[in-house]
Chains A and B, each alone.
Chain A
């Protein structure tokens, strides 16, 4: 076991040091797909979370419950639903997106959106409780209130986006269904690891796993540095 890990570390290092073109392609595609999905999810989920935090009305509690429950959506189910939507006989089949990176982005966006929205709602609700009287005293509209809260919570929301990125980059079930794991087209880190494991190339799979963890650490580190700078300035 120890020898396997040592060999995997060595292989991972060799792959990184040699800037292996196949590895580079897979890493870049993984990042492109997951960062796109997180960006799209944030575009939808942050205003949604803010709206749920600020507004009161019938059905809001049910919506919050639904959102919280959606955080645990099984990736394979999401993959299957997106597959049915995008398949030739599905309602969006004419777009021809199945087995493309776009399909993978859609699937990951569906998975990440509830996570970002639910966590953002909680953060913004806490901040809203603190700001509420001041903002109402200023006569802010709900939209202006949401804008203020989203801006002032931006460093905490970065961490939320990071949680979404973690979910997206580590996801395999949905992207393998809608992407098909096609070499040079839809193959990403996680699907490659799954493939190499099934082929019995455990060393290579482990090496890719280590690189995936390294990637996640790097993105985490970058966001934490940004958040720390915000905290240091007492804006967060």
Chain B
């Protein structure tokens, strides 16, 4: 894979102007209930800085729920999430970004979407212009800057969503199956962006169903089943010697009940 250098991704706390570190991210006894039923947890999970953590598991295992709880889009029913020992606050939230399975693009042009995100984080003027141009180049969408974002192809829309997230210079990027409905070429382009972001120091937390993608991207694999973590190991170990029967079945292509 040819190397892609992101012009504005910097390592860890440096991106936040020397602010206090927010990683590791440690979830303890994390649980989520809905409709009077436990949907997730309790689970313990640690996201180390600079690592690529991939959440895997069958449908309904709680991968997306975990991601939303960590990012703060959902509030846990029980447990604690600590960012370098501190609870989440607005400043910590502004040092994260998330990409969704179905890109949520505003009814604006390509650059209008990027500008909105940058403005929301207080980035204006020359800095905004520079980041906008860099994001367009990164996503290979410079020629589409004035096009309505929702008229782009599925792959282009997701590239824009990833570029929009990366233009915020997040220290940690959450991605919920960003390539689930994309063809191999588009998947490769998204993965290239993620590799470059990781090389620039961004911590990645990715949900995927695709074992091939997990092999290509993961440093650590967290395997969930029925709302619980059944395995949390280095990627190489997970793929060579999965410890849990559920992970063994999943990797062998058998149906995991």
Chain A residues near B (Cβ < 8 Å) = 130-131, 133-134, 136-140, 144, 148, 152, 233-236
Contacts and interface: CB of A to CB of B under 8 A. Distances in A.
Contacts of A137: 71, 73, 96-98
A112 to B, nearest CB: 26
Nearest to A233: B148
Contact of B120 (A130, A139, A152, A234): A139
B73 A136 contact: yes
Consensus secondary structure, chain B interface: mixed
A139 B93 contact: yes
Interface of B: 68, 71-73, 90, 93-94, 96-98, 100, 104, 106-108, 116-117, 120-121, 148, 150-151, 168
Contact of A140 (B73, B97, B120, B148): B120
Given A140-B120, A152-B106, A234 B151 contact: yes
Nearest to A130: B104
Given A133-B73, A233-B148, A138 B107 contact: no
A137 B99 CA distance: 9
Nearest to A156: B107
Contacts of B98: 133, 137
A236 B98 CA distance: 25
A236 B108 CA distance: 9
14 contacts: A133-B68, A133-B104, A134-B100, A134-B104, A134-B106, A136-B73, A137-B98, A140-B120, A148-B106, A152-B106, A152-B108, A235-B107, A235-B108, A235-B148
Consensus secondary structure, chain A interface: helix
Contacts of B100: 133-134
A234 B150 contact: yes
Contacts of A140: 120
Nearest to B151: A234
Contacts of B151: 234
A138 B117 CA distance: 7
Closest 8 CB pairs of A and B: A134-B104, A234-B148, A138-B120, A137-B98, A152-B107, A235-B107, A234-B151, A139-B93
Contacts of A152: 106-108
A148 B107 CA distance: 10
Contacts of B148: 233-235
B116 A148 contact: yes
Q: Which of B71, B90, B148, B168 has the most CB of A within 10 A?
A: B148
A123 to B, nearest CB: 12
A130 B73 CA distance: 14
Contacts of A136: 72-73
Nearest to A136: B73
B202 to A, nearest CB: 15
Q: Which of B71, B94, B120, B148 has the most CB of A within 10 A?
A: B120
Contact of A144 (B71, B94, B120, B150): B120
Nearest to B106: A152
A140 B94 CA distance: 10
Contacts of B73: 133, 136-137
A90 B97 CA distance: 57
A139 B121 contact: yes
A140 B121 CA distance: 8
Contacts of B71: 137
Contacts of A139: 90, 93-94, 120-121
Contacts of B150: 234
